[in-house]
Chain A
Amino acid sequence: MLLEIKELSVSFESIYGKSHVLDHVSINIKKGEIIGVVGESGSGKSVTALAIIRLLHKNASIDSGEILYENENLLTKDEKEIQAIRGKKIGMVFQEPMTALNPTMKIGKQLANVIRKHREVSKKEAHELAIETLKDVKIKDAEKVSEKYPFQLSGGMRQRVVIALAMAAPPDLLIADEPTTALDVTVQNEILKLMKSLSEKKGTSILFITHDLAVVGNFCDRVYVMYQGKIVESGKTADVLHKPEHPYTRALIESLPEGKNPDEPLKVIDGEPFVLNSRPTGCVFIARCPLKTEQCSNVPPVRWRGTDHWAACWEVEENAGNPLARKEI
């Protein structure tokens, strides 16, 4: 196992008092795997990413759990040790590429600097490697682009450069937080292709965070569905998308307009997510769930539907696997 997040709980201190934003979240990633974390706004998906690289806002506190990276707990490491892991072992790509780029430095130089941080090479070699890296992310005219400043590039090109920066080491794990959300579909398609081929070529695992179920569809091996700080369902992508078990996942898929009959209204999830300070004690989906019963006011159990597929719901019937014998909950 490359990365294991175990029962991670995070809360924020705010005007509302303490708000739990992650509630016993467990995610694991094997070497070379592409893992999707899907959730709507407020689900805690980005907090999860930031917790891994220890970049949580200062008013956030980790209440319990651990994050094991190659069996070492990242949460107990000091800043210096984390610095050594960030970038080198774990790369990051965010939604807005400009936040990761230095606006006053040429692309080639930025890349060369990063390469020299990770590898013992001369300036000249670093520059050559930088151009190689740009070619790796399918940038034509890599030499020309390396002489440009970030503002001279389009959004898609910038995101390629950011991916090149993140993959320069190359890292074992790439955390991509909505990397294509700001991009056009045709560009998104190319970026996803690129990420997939890089992952295959370099054996890098990807933790792909998105609000878009459809993107996960043909991109991720396994997927975790999050709702309001809790993982409600997880499994192989095809299982989760085509045989969804948790009422939330099912409703989410139903509410997508893709392939629906235009003459019928879309099926919707009633209501809206709760505000953080009014977190229910039992199931997080209780207020909007069409299947809710009395027992839903207790924390729902993990019910296994297959060797890899489970949902945290009282209404789901177990038919395979033994949760006690398994580590990944």
Chain B
Amino acid sequence: MLEIHSLVKRFDDIEAVKNVSFQVKKGETYGLVGESGSGKSTIGNMIIGLLQPTSGDILMEGKHLWDKSSYKRMKNGEIQIVFQDPQSSLDPRMTIRSILLEPLRALPLKERREKGKKSNLGKLLRTVGMNESHLDRHPHEFSGGQRQRIAIARAIITDPVFIILDEPTSALDVSVQAQILNLLKKLQKERGLTYLFISHDMSVIQYMCDRVGVLYHGELVEENKTSKLFSSPQKDYTKKLLSSLPTLFEKEDQYA
């Protein structure tokens, strides 16, 4: 579904993404894991059109997303993104209703009317575990977890086929994180969504993803099925990453 070929992004003289290639298959969750400065969010931003690649190709169902310096999707709203910080991803001055309706503005009028109907908004909110009575409230009236639910509702209102999840639970408490992860899995199953899951948290990646790519300083150092990558990591960096992971299970030498 998504193909990335020799993707490069240079900021001035720093190469943030170096010759990265991978593919995401329809219906799967592909994890991109890496530490700060690994370029994982930069890749997400290039796919969604916020950053222009220096070179390389991004293809969505065989069509180029970047044509020279202009970003073109087959259809607005077919790719969506959920950001890390639900504090800042919702405009504090807007009501939940206008927040949800916003992505529809880029769609044709007929579709916009259809999807923006009040009954549809209510259904959408119930899907993410909220309800109609929240429509006229403002983001500050909700907790972090609820805001992330709203952000997810906003992402799925256009019926996207592909969603980039950029550290969607990193700013949340663990107990809330579990709710959001369950919600994301449920939505994927119901709607046949394809996810690109960007995270620094190996245990979340392990739970969420079918396949994983490990990024290190802008390079994709290893890629494998999740279970294989965790059971038999090949590269030194992946091994180091896995052994650094704090664990509930007893591990005598972890901090020795």
Contact = CB atoms under 8 A, between A and B. Distances in A.
Given A192-B246, A268-B182, 12 more contacts: A185-B244, A188-B246, A196-B255, A214-B245, A217-B249, A217-B250, A218-B246, A219-B246, A241-B248, A257-B177, A259-B249, A265-B186
Given A40-B175, A41-B173, A185-B241, A253 B182 contact: no
| 4 nearest A-B residue pairs (beta carbon) | A257-B207, A255-B178, A184-B35, A189-B244
Interface in A23-49: 40-41
Nearest to B145: A272
A40 B144 CA distance: 12
A255 B203 contact: no
B171 to A, nearest CB: 10
A59 interface: no
B208 to A, nearest CB: 7
A75 interface: no
A230 to B, nearest CB: 16
B178 A267 contact: yes
A255 B178 CA distance: 5
A231 to B, nearest CB: 17
Nearest to B176: A272
Contacts of A196: 255-256
B20 interface: no
Interface in B210-248: 226, 240-241, 243-248
Contacts of A267: 178
Interface of A: 40-41, 155, 184-189, 192-193, 196, 211-215, 217-219, 238, 241-242, 251-253, 255-260, 262, 265-269, 272
Contacts of B248: 213-214, 217, 241, 253, 256, 258-259
Interface in B8-39: 35-36
B215 to A, nearest CB: 12
B202 interface: yes
Contacts of B247: 214, 217-218, 258
Interface in B156-210: 173-179, 181-182, 185-186, 200, 202-204, 206-208
Nearest to B209: A262
Interface centre among B143, B173, B226, B255 (most CB of A within 10 A): B255
A261 to B, nearest CB: 9
A256 B250 contact: no
Contacts of A212: 174, 246
20 contacts: A40-B174, A184-B200, A185-B35, A185-B200, A185-B202, A185-B246, A189-B255, A192-B255, A214-B245, A214-B246, A214-B247, A214-B248, A217-B250, A218-B251, A252-B174, A252-B175, A255-B174, A259-B248, A262-B206, A262-B207
A315 B247 CA distance: 28
A266 B202 contact: no
Nearest to A40: B173
Nearest to A270: B179
B208 A262 contact: yes
A186 B35 contact: yes
Nearest to A266: B178
A251 B181 CA distance: 15
Contacts of A266: 178, 181-182, 207
A260 B207 contact: yes
Interface centre among B145, B226, B254 (most CB of A within 10 A): B254
A268 B178 contact: yes
Contacts of B255: 189, 192-193, 196, 218-219
A269 B182 CA distance: 12
A246 B243 CA distance: 30
Given A184-B35, A196-B256, A218-B254, A257 B178 contact: yes
A179 B145 CA distance: 24
Interface centre among B146, B186, B200, B250 (most CB of A within 10 A): B250
Contacts of A242: 250
A221 B214 CA distance: 33
Interface centre among B178, B241, B251, B254 (most CB of A within 10 A): B178
B181 A185 contact: no
B1 to A, nearest CB: 20
Contacts of A217: 246-251, 254
Nearest to B207: A257
Nearest to B226: A262
A185 B245 contact: yes
A252 B178 CA distance: 9
Contacts of B256: 193, 196
B249 A184 contact: no
